[in-house]
Amino acid sequence: MGEWSEIGKLLIVFGLILIGIGLFLLFGDKLPLKLGHLPGDIVYERGNFKFYFPWVTCLVISIILTLIFSLWRR
């Protein structure tokens, strides 16, 4: 029975993550700061060439995922 309860917990966590992603996709355009267009993200344009690297966005996502997984381990 212990194995099934661990699988159940895992499915609940994945479900909550999917719900969070879905809510962000639905209501993300109403947020004051757009994820992917945060201050500090690098954009370089020259002629027909455009380089975009969202390093601040990557940092924010990394912090959020670190918090989620550290809470999940406890």
Which pTM value belongs to this model?
0.56
pLDDT at 21: 82
Q: Does residue 74 sit in the same domain as residue 42?
A: yes
Q: Residue 22: which domain range?
A: 1-31
pLDDT at 49: 94
Sequence-separated (6 or more) residues with CB below 8 Å from residue 57: 35, 36, 37, 38, 41
How many Å apart are CA 4 and CA 13, to the nearest integer? 14
Q: Does residue 43 sit in the same domain as residue 71?
A: yes
Instruction: Kindly report, residue by residue over 1-38, the tens digit of the pLDDT.
Output: 577 788 888 888 889 889 988 887 788 777 776 767 77
Q: Does residue 39 sit in the same domain as residue 73?
A: yes
pLDDT at 1: 59
Q: Does residue 40 sit in the same domain as residue 70?
A: yes
Q: Does residue 16 sit in the same domain as residue 46?
A: no
How many Å apart are CA 74 and CA 69, to the nearest integer? 9
How many Å apart are CA 42 and CA 26, to the nearest integer? 26
Instruction: Kindly report, residue by residue over 36-71, the tens digit of the pLDDT.
Output: 777 888 889 999 999 988 888 889 889 988 998 888
